[in-house]
Amino acid sequence: MKGNVYTLLYAFVLGTTCALLLTAASQFTTPYRDANAKAEEVLNILTALKVPFEEGASSEELLNVFNGNIEEKQRGDMTIYEYSPANGNGEVLAVVMRFAGPGLWGPVKGFLALESDLRTIRGLTFYEQEETPGLGGEIVTDDFRSQFAGKSIVDESNKAGIVIRGGGNKLINGVDAISGATMTCDKVQQMLNKAIVKIVENE
Amino acid sequence: MAGDQGGCKSCGGLCGGKGLVTLKDGAWTQNPLAIQVLGICSALAVTNKLENSLVMGAALIFVCVGSNLFVSLLRKHTPHRIRMIAEVAIIATFVILFDQLLKAFYWEMSKQLGPYVGLIITNCIVMGRAEAFALQNPPILSILDGLANGFGYAVILAIIGFFRELLGTGKVMGHEILSGNWYTPNQIMILAPGAFFALGIVIAIFNALKGPDPQENK
């Protein structure tokens, strides 16, 4: 029977070796993973803004499209991205901003794109969510997201905010909620409105 | 031929006797998925596409071979009381290593496999082989065992992935095979129930081909 000291020593050496190995691996892959994360963000911004790009484009191609068409700006305490086509006359077609907030199970994050009037939604994407697959998780589907295009972010009396609820698509600032995902929809509405209020008040 | 003989001596009769048995056991007679029905969680979750299945199979082969090798190398030095913790530490190291490489060089796939690569740490096949085989056997034999079991898992995954993708979307590796007016993709095959049907049928066919287990009648 080997002693306690040996057992502790063994655990210590094994643990340290594994940790060192993984640290080295992580150091080595960090630049690649960062580049992937950046490309993912760029892809989401381009999708929300409906900037045309080739399907299945590589990370570098996406970055090229992004750098050619999109300009990063500060607006109050928000970072926004303005879309003015490379072959246009410098006119801003649309802007996109980040929104985030707690979902039902975990953080939900995404991009909201507005037309140049800053009152009409152009599109939106979610790049992080852990909602229930098949219910709240349906927020990432085209069916749900495409409802937002063309909707106003203010109601008839010019009050900022959108509505996500059953039958909401009849409102100028509303879309249909997902059945069985009321909690997720409420929370998505809250986080969108937080961003929308900021945009409207920062005029 | 003389060289072969020498090789056999140095590895303890590997090419003739135990090595072959180990390979056959892992991939066929004791196939981890079809016979022992282990590790079916990932087999159900990631097999909706052939490509996903192949990458998952490769991940398991990598982890199984790596962890078996190191558990076997350390088997005479590992204190018995903490052997399982040591095994998990070694397995986790290999899994995280594979996950990091996937995230760096195969981002799309990493997104699709989601948490299932990380969950290989808890895959009973890997832990089971380390505990049942690598702890008692020399390194080279343990590598063979890891290879055979990983291969046994990967092949079943590929078969399930192939049929689920084909029947569920009409495609194989993203290329359209069944299309046109005569075939409507059967969506249920790429959803959870399809995984259960496919796995059940594969296990049934596998067992029918293998014949009844001689030990069961004793």
Sign of CA dihedral B130, B132, B136, B139: negative
Any B CB within 8 A of A6 CB: yes
CA separation for the pair B132, B129 (Å, rounded): 5
Query: Are A10 and B93 within 8 A, CB to CB?
Result: no
Any B CB within 8 A of A12 CB: no
b/e B62-83 (16+ beta carbons within 10 angstroms → b) = bbbbbbbbbbbebbeebbeeeb
Contacts of A32 in chain B (CB under 8 A): 103-105
Looking at CA atoms only, how far is residue A39 from chain B in angstroms? 10
On whether residue B204 sits in a domain, the answer given is: yes
* Domain limits, chain A: 92-201
How large is the greatest C-alpha to C-alpha distance in chain A, in angstroms?
A: 81
Q: Kindly state the DSSP code that residue B59 receives in the 8-state scheme.
A: H
Q: How confident is the model at residue B15 (pLDDT cuts 50, 70, 90)?
A: low
CA separation for the pair A102, A115 (Å, rounded): 26
Any A CB within 8 A of B196 CB: no
* Strands, sheet with A94-102, edge to edge from the N-terminal-most edge strand: A70-75, A78-83, A94-102, A107-115, A121-128
Is the pLDDT at B218 greater than 60? The verdict is no
As a whole number, the mean pLDDT across chain A is 87
- What phi and psi values does residue B183 have, to the nearest 5 degrees? -125, 120
Do A101 and A191 contact (CB within 8 A), yes or no?
yes
Do A184 and A191 contact (CB within 8 A), yes or no?
no
H helix or E strand, kind and range, residue A109? strand A107-115
Contacts of A40 in chain B (CB under 8 A): 107
How large is the greatest C-alpha to C-alpha distance in chain B, in angstroms?
A: 65
Mean per-residue pLDDT for B177-191? 81
Owning domain of residue B130: 37-210
Q: What is the pLDDT of residue B217?
A: 58
Contacts of B86 in chain A (CB under 8 A): 10-11, 14
Residues in chain B, total: 218
Q: How confident is the model at residue A90 (pLDDT cuts 50, 70, 90)?
A: confident
Looking at CA atoms only, how far is residue B107 from chain A in angstroms? 7
Any A CB within 8 A of B105 CB: yes
Query: Are A22 and B103 within 8 A, CB to CB?
Result: no
On whether residue B2 sits in a domain, the answer given is: no
Among candidates B74, B81, B105 on the partner chain, residue whose Cβ is nearest the Cβ of A7 = B81
Any B CB within 8 A of A23 CB: no
Cα dist. B67→A12, B58, B112, B144, B177 in Å?
A: 18, 14, 25, 12, 39
Query: Are B92 and A10 within 8 A, CB to CB?
Result: no
Mean per-residue pLDDT for A95-117? 90
Domain count, chain B: 1
Mean per-residue pLDDT for A68-89? 80
**Is the ipTM of this structure higher than 0.90?**
no
For B149-167, how does the pLDDT look when each residue is reduced to its tens digit (9 = 90+)? Answer: 999 999 999 999 999 999 9
Among candidates A21, A32, A40 on the partner chain, residue whose Cβ is nearest the Cβ of B104 = A32
Query: Are B79 and A36 within 8 A, CB to CB?
Result: no
Mean per-residue pLDDT for B62-91? 94
Helix A4-49 crosses helix A59-69 at what angle (to 10 degrees)?
A: 50
CA separation for the pair B201, B170 (Å, rounded): 19
Q: Minimal CA–CA distance to A124: which of A136, A141, A109, A110? A: A110
Considering the entire predicted model, what is its pTM? 0.77
